[in-house]
Structure 1
Amino acid sequence: MNNLAVNAAPLNVKLTEGIYDIKDLKLMENTTYNIQNTSAGINLMIRMDGQQEVMESHRLLENSPKYTIGPFRYVDKIVLLGPGTVTITE
């Protein structure tokens, strides 16, 4: 009998203004995540599909609560606008 130990680190992705591919962020398809503005400044998060249609958006006030985003497909993109940092967690 073989014992296999797998240590899974909790997801904690910090992002600043930019355009991000879901696949490059190593987020899983068909999974929802939490997004939170962890800085002093207002940020806008836009999720677009492979056809560049807006699927969802959130205006994240400074030090915002967590919002559920997704589920994603690998062709989706996240667009972040604003001066602060947002954190994506499971």
Structure 2
Amino acid sequence: MKKTFIILSALLLLSFNMNNLAVKAAPLNIQLTEGVHSVKDLKLVENKTYKIQNTSAGTILMMRIDGDQQIMESHRLLENSPIYNIGPFRYVDKIVILGPGTVTITE
């Protein structure tokens, strides 16, 4: 009887703690301006495809460069461009943004 009470109390205590666990996933919305950006510093997930869009009035050139400094992908993003898929990335990749304005990376 005593063991049963202890086990039920432990299960009851664990069930109260499980209700407090909340996973809060914030949507990814990264704004990038002109420059060289590391995939690792941007905290993008490896082997995942993302979406990129020019949200400014100017034309922007986006390039993805791998660890061997080879251009793997490039997009010419006109003003208020449609959404393009980019990636999948590796942590050694870099994203180069050339031109005035900002681009937005989302999931």
TM range (shorter): over 0.9
The answer for the alignment partner of 1:55 in structure 2 is 72
Which structure exhibits the higher relative contact order, with contacts defined as CA atoms closer than 8 Å and separated by 6 or more residues? 1
Give the CA deviation at 1:81. 0.1
Give the CA deviation at 1:84. 1.0
Pick from 13, 34, 39: which aligns with 2:51?
34
Specify which structure has the higher proportion of strand: 1
Pick from 70, 77, 81: which aligns with 2:87?
70
TM-score between both structures, scaled by the size of structure 1: 0.98
Structure showing greater Rg: 2
| Runs (5+) with no aligned partner, structure 1 | none
| Coordinate RMSD, CA, aligned | 0.6
Length, aligned pairs only:
90
The answer for the alignment partner of 1:12 in structure 2 is 29
TM-score between both structures, scaled by the size of structure 2: 0.82
Deviations 1:26-69 (A, max 9, x none): 10000000000000000000000000000000000000000000
The answer for the alignment partner of 1:83 in structure 2 is 100
